[in-house]
Amino acid sequence: MQILQDKKIVLGISGGIAAYKTPELVRRLKEHGADIRVVMTDGAKAFITPLTLQAVSGNHVSDSLLDSQAELAMGHIELAKWADLIIIAPATADIIARITSGMANDLLSTLCLATSAPIAIAPAMNQQMWHAKATQANISTLKHWGLHIWGPGAGEQACGDIGLGRMLDVNELVTLSSDFFADKYLKGQHWVITAGPTREAIDPVRYISNHSSGKMGYAIAHAALRSGAQVTLISGPVNIPAPTGCELVQVTSAEQMHEQALNYAPQATTFVACAAVADYRVADIADEKIKKDNKHMQISLIKNHDIVADVAKLADKPFVVGFAAETQNVEHYARGKLMRKNLDLIAANDVAKAGQGFNSDDNALTIYSAIDKIEIPLANKHIVAKQLVSLINQHYQAKNTEK
Ligand code: PMT
């Protein structure tokens, strides 16, 4: 069943240029099974017509508090009670201010006052207006009251400015809506996840690294977040955005990752080491760019700390999951690492196979515990991550029951 199946969502549209994206948002939410009722402010109607939104939502669009015909169909109080979720997208500085001050001078602000449903706000405005003290004070009040603030994103704005204030794109809003209704079975857990490669400097312009893109670790972070966990993502340098809602700790080298992992792991319930950490670092990093004068060159390397093994040595150690990237004898090497590093679980991937492992969108994993072996077949990393997160939780719960 789709996560948004039969979910009743009121989409409140206020008067910003991003209103032109809302028919696509309605279409995508409906594709995921949601029933959508649209409420528009007068400002919104300057950017997009109610008829367009009626056509895509398949429902009457409400735009007036004092419309007796609309009140006959579904009154504003009924609409406020009907909703499982109210999303305001785009949410202008004006509607944000009116909600914060408890005003009820149009249908959308009245709905927000009259509902007990959760409200998600997707701000969209000029970057200066977003940073204005009044807007920031309003947003922090709304957060304090438990409203969900989705965005804004950064980038070039309709007015030509560059900065924070763009409405999140439709894909992100659909993902956040699905996440909102997802089963929060990890509520109360804190996951610390390492992801991506590390870079070991040779000189100011060169480094040793590997092909990790961060996709697997970021997908695990996303799956844990949507299942309700608090997530700290300790990441090496990658080119993908961190999932909204996680605490991102950016590092470059293995030794920096080691320091941050040991800093966060003692507060974690679960530690997942998905990063492809460089095993060695350069003994003497050159201060200046090394010249190509010699035919041969030798670089002396020193072994880095083993991050996951050191986390597993902590007195208050979390549930520890390692990864094994192997090109041969996968089970033998993975089980060796499981025992040697004192892990609770290890997820092995055969990185010699085409189309999986490093820098690909797909992966297949075999998970080993001291007694079990479970296969997660080849699929998109987000699907694999969802299954892995659920499996880790089952083992974590079983271990806690034993205690
Ligand atoms: O990032 P992607 O492009 O999506 O690719 C995903 C991945 C292939 C990188 C990922 O699935 C994966 O296998 N990550 C672990 C890669 C690796 O370094 O494996 P390893 O067998 O060398 O290390 C074993 C375990 O020890 C790993 O959990 C690793 O994070 C950890 N380790 C290794 C060395 C070190 N100094 N400290 C560590 O914590």
Residue 145 has pLDDT above 80, yes or no: yes
The residues annotated as belonging to the active site are 159
Closest ligand 1 atom, CA of 214?
Answer: 1
Q: What is the mean pLDDT of the chain?
A: 94
In the prediction, which pLDDT does 288 show?
A: 95
N- to C-terminal Cα distance for the chain?
36
- Residue to probe by mutation, ligand 1, list 240, 274, 383, most atoms within 8 Å of CB: 274
Q: Name every protein residue with a CB atom under 6 angstroms from any ligand 1 atom.
A: 194, 196, 212-217, 254, 273-277, 279, 304, 306-308, 322-325, 337, 349, 351, 357-359
Mean pLDDT for the stretch of residues 92-108: 96
Digit-coded pLDDT (tens) for 349-384: 999 999 999 999 999 999 999 998 999 999 999 999
The number of the ligand 1 atom at minimal distance from the alpha carbon of 279 is 36
Distance between Cα 210 and ligand 1 center (Å): 10
Domains 8-181 and 190-402 share a fold: yes
Q: What is the pLDDT of residue 90?
A: 98
Protein residue with least CA distance to atom 33, ligand 1: 277
Smallest CA-to-CA distance from 150 within 288, 314, 297, 18 is with 18
Cα 240 to Cα 65: distance, rounded to the nearest angstrom: 44
pTM given for the model: 0.78
What ligand 1 atom has the least distance to the C-alpha of 326?
21
Mean pLDDT calculated for residue range 234-255 = 95
Q: Residue 344 phi/psi, 5° resolution?
A: -80, -40
- Domain spanning 190-402: which CATH class is it, in words? alpha beta
Domains of the chain, residue spans: 8-181, 190-402
CA distance 359 to 197: 11
Tell me the per-residue pLDDT of 112-123, one tens digit each, with 9 for 90 and over: 999 999 999 999
**Average pLDDT, integer, range 26-35:** 96
pLDDT at 128: 94
User: What is the CATH T-level fold of the domain 8-181, as seen in this structure?
Assistant: Rossmann fold (3.40.50)
What is the CA(255)–ligand 1 centre distance, in A?
15
Question: Whose CA is closest to atom 18 on ligand 1?
Answer: 276
What is the pLDDT at residue 118? 97
